[in-house]
A = this chain, B = another copy of it.
Amino acid sequence: MSDITMRAATAADHAAVWEILRRVFRAGETYAIDPGISQGDALAYWFGPGREVRVAEVDGRVLGSYYIRPNAEGGGAHVCNCGFVTAEAAQGKGVARAMLAEALDRAARSGYLAMQFNFVISTNTRAIRLWEMAGFAVAGRLPGAYLHPTLGYVDALVMYRSLRTDLAPQPL
């Protein structure tokens, strides 16, 4: 485990975040995003309205980023949604785990009562394992909802975790 510094992303991080997004989006294996998305559109998406964006630094290099936002408006605004990306160089350094831990903590402190991932591609087993270890449950399964570039139609999952500590283990 390396020393990982978590901090708010700024405009100065756009190039580094794009390098990470580019590989992830181009691969088309984990995000329902056009694999040919431009740098401008990708950054506009990641840093979109209502999103708080954080980065994870190891030895002064940005190796991961995540956003947190309300998953819905009105009566749904107490549930947040996050997206996570890591650089290839982040592997084995605990970056994904550190980002998730911070995201859960920040979400709870911000008053969110639950965190939801809307579209987890079922072949993304490493992420699913991490999230299940962190208390997320599969709340839904969407049959064939994702066309994987090499595996064809695969399921997508909806994953959900309560952030209320006063009522554990049942949600909300």
Contacts and interface: CB of A to CB of B under 8 A. Distances in A.
Contact of A145 (B32, B76, B153): B76
Place the interface of chain A in its size category: 35 or more
A151 to B, nearest CB: 10
A123 to B, nearest CB: 11
Nearest to A160: B142
Contact of A156 (B31, B35, B76): B76
Given A118-B118, A153-B172, A158-B158, A74 B34 contact: yes
A73 B34 contact: yes
B35 A74 contact: yes
A77 B149 CA distance: 13
A121 B75 CA distance: 10
A83 interface: no
B144 A171 contact: yes
A124 to B, nearest CB: 12
Interface in A23-63: 25, 28, 31-35, 37
A140 B143 contact: no
Contacts of A147: 75-76, 78
